[in-house]
Amino acid sequence: MLVSLDQRRRDAIRRCTDAARSAGTQLLFGMTTSLALQSAPIPDGCDLDPTLLHTVSSDRTKRVRSGATVTHLWRALPQNGNVRVNRNVYALDLFHTWAQLADHLPLESLIVLGDAIITATARQRALARGRDAAGVHRDLLAFAETLPRFKGKRACLSSIQLIRPGADSPPESRERLSLLRHGLPDMALNHTVPDVAFRSGAAMTLDMAWPQWRVAVEYDGDQHRTDKAQWRRDTEKRDLLRGRDWVIFVATGATLADAGARAEFAFRVARVLTMRGAEFMFRVAEAPIETVIREVRRRG
């Protein structure tokens, strides 16, 4: 990301605080502004301008009009649970922010955002209650089911079929979805390899893995190349696991660059999975994400 999540959060807090002081009242921010305030990534394909400040209220009579903000109605607004940023600024909680954005995102981006919100919420809750990502995922499933009727509810219920805990970044989520769209079997995320550890004693995990066939995909962002400590950890892990008969593929921004690159990478992974005993129907071209959702529903 050209602008880090921390940088974006600091800028959003400053701008939202100025807007609240100018309005002379506390303001509740939603949409992409809520994501920025809570260090969650802003997804691709959003039809809202993320440079604007987006406020939210439960009905028209409670809207605070200000030249510095764009106002939105969200009738499902929770009475409790919104995030206090400072005395002037509040952010809509991330579950409601995800649902609120459902009508402004392509379906795949809504799935990617759901993955990111599970990670961000688990990080928030770990400070308070030690809740893990799997628990947050169950909470999001329950939340989606109990939402009242609104324009984006169908998209929420569709996307929840493919949202998973354990993704560390939006590009990692997009790589996972690309592999599924090419017909590869579902994989374990953030898989802990049993009976193997770093020299420090820390467990070794793999971004995406098919443990029964000892095949894995790791997504390397720029920090994996520029951070020497990260590069050494990656090398130690992959050398050790390859010595134990794991085949590890490394995905990067280049493997996601276009449909051809995604198809070529998916074929390489599919070929090894097939050679190791996996049975599935590979698709040369990516299927629509709706097709993958229907397949997941059929499998139950």
Last residue of a domain, one of 140, 159, 178: 159
User: Residue 288, exposed/middle/buried by CB under 10 A (0-12, 13-18, 19+)?
Assistant: exposed
Which range among 40-54, 150-164, 257-271 has the greatest average pLDDT? Answer: 257-271
| Residue 230 pLDDT greater than 50, yes or no | yes
Distance CA 13, CA 16 (A): 5
Residue 10 dihedral angles phi and psi, to the nearest 5°: -60, -40
Return the pLDDT at 92: 94
Q: List, for residues 212-228, the tens digit of each pLDDT value.
A: 999 999 998 756 565 67
| Residue 62 pLDDT greater than 80, yes or no | no
Do residues 33 and 95 share a domain?
A: yes
Distance CA 240, CA 169 (A): 25
**pLDDT, average across residues 261-273:** 97
Q: Which helix (H) or strand (E) segment is 225 a member of?
A: helix 222-226
Please say whether the beta carbons of 93 and 83 come within 8 A. yes
User: Residue 133, exposed/middle/buried by CB under 10 A (0-12, 13-18, 19+)?
Assistant: buried
In 10 A of CB 110, how many CB atoms?
27
Do residues 65 and 188 share a domain?
A: no
Residue with tokens 């990656």: 234
Is there a domain that residue 242 lies in?
A: yes
pLDDT band at 128 (very low <50, low <70, confident <90, very high): low
pLDDT band at 46 (very low <50, low <70, confident <90, very high): very high
Is there a domain that residue 115 lies in?
A: yes
Return the pLDDT at 78: 75
Return the pLDDT at 104: 96
Last residue of a domain, one of 124, 159, 194: 159
Do residues 182 and 143 share a domain?
A: no
Rounded to the nearest integer, the mean pLDDT of the chain is 89
Do residues 52 and 146 share a domain?
A: yes
pLDDT band at 134 (very low <50, low <70, confident <90, very high): confident
Is there a domain that residue 165 lies in?
A: no
Cα atoms found within 13 Å of the Cα of residue 35, Cβ hemisphere only? 26
Do residues 147 and 180 share a domain?
A: no
Return the pLDDT at 2: 45
Is there a domain that residue 181 lies in?
A: yes
Do residues 202 and 256 share a domain?
A: yes
Selection from 37, 13, 21 nearest residue 91 by Cα = 37
What one-character-per-residue DSSP string does 22-75 give? HHTS-EEE-HHHHHHHTTPPPPTT-SS-TTSEEEEESSGGG----TTEEEEE-T
Do residues 119 and 184 share a domain?
A: no
Q: Alpha carbon of 181 to those of 89, 187, 220, 267: distances in Å?
A: 41, 13, 21, 12
Distance CA 293, CA 107 (A): 10
Pairing outcome for strands 69-73 and 203-210: unpaired
**pLDDT, average across residues 46-51:** 93
Do residues 206 and 105 share a domain?
A: no
Return the pLDDT at 199: 83
Would you give the end-to-end CA distance of the chain in angstroms?
36
User: Residue 232, exposed/middle/buried by CB under 10 A (0-12, 13-18, 19+)?
Assistant: exposed
Return the pLDDT at 115: 95
DSSP state of 43: P
Q: List, for residues 172-224, the tens digit of each pLDDT value.
A: 999 999 999 999 999 999 999 998 888 888 888 999 999 999 999 999 875 65
pLDDT band at 163 (very low <50, low <70, confident <90, very high): very high
What one-character-per-residue DSSP string does 69-88 give? EEEEE-TT--SS-PEE-SSS
Is there a domain that residue 99 lies in?
A: yes
Do residues 121 and 198 share a domain?
A: no
Q: What percent of the chain has pLDDT over 90?
A: 63
Which of the pair, 153 or 58, is modelled with greater confidence?
153
**pLDDT, average across residues 233-237:** 87
The number of domains in the chain is 2
Do residues 45 and 184 share a domain?
A: no
Q: List, for residues 105-123, the tens digit of each pLDDT value.
A: 999 999 999 999 998 888 8
Q: Which helix (H) or strand (E) segment is 177 a member of?
A: helix 170-181
Do residues 194 and 280 share a domain?
A: yes
Residue 41 gets the label, from left (phi > 0), alpha (psi -120 to 50) or beta, of beta
As separate numbers, helices (DSSP H) first and strands (DSSP E) second, the chain gives 11, 9
Return the pLDDT at 127: 62
Distance CA 211, CA 78 (A): 41
| Residue 3 pLDDT greater than 50, yes or no | yes
CATH number of the domain where residue 209 is located = 3.40.960.10
Do residues 10 and 145 share a domain?
A: yes
pLDDT band at 59 (very low <50, low <70, confident <90, very high): confident
pTM for this entry: 0.90
Last residue of a domain, one of 159, 191, 224: 159
Q: Which domain holds residue 242?
A: 170-299
Return the pLDDT at 195: 85
Residue 115: alpha-carbon gap to chain centroid: 3
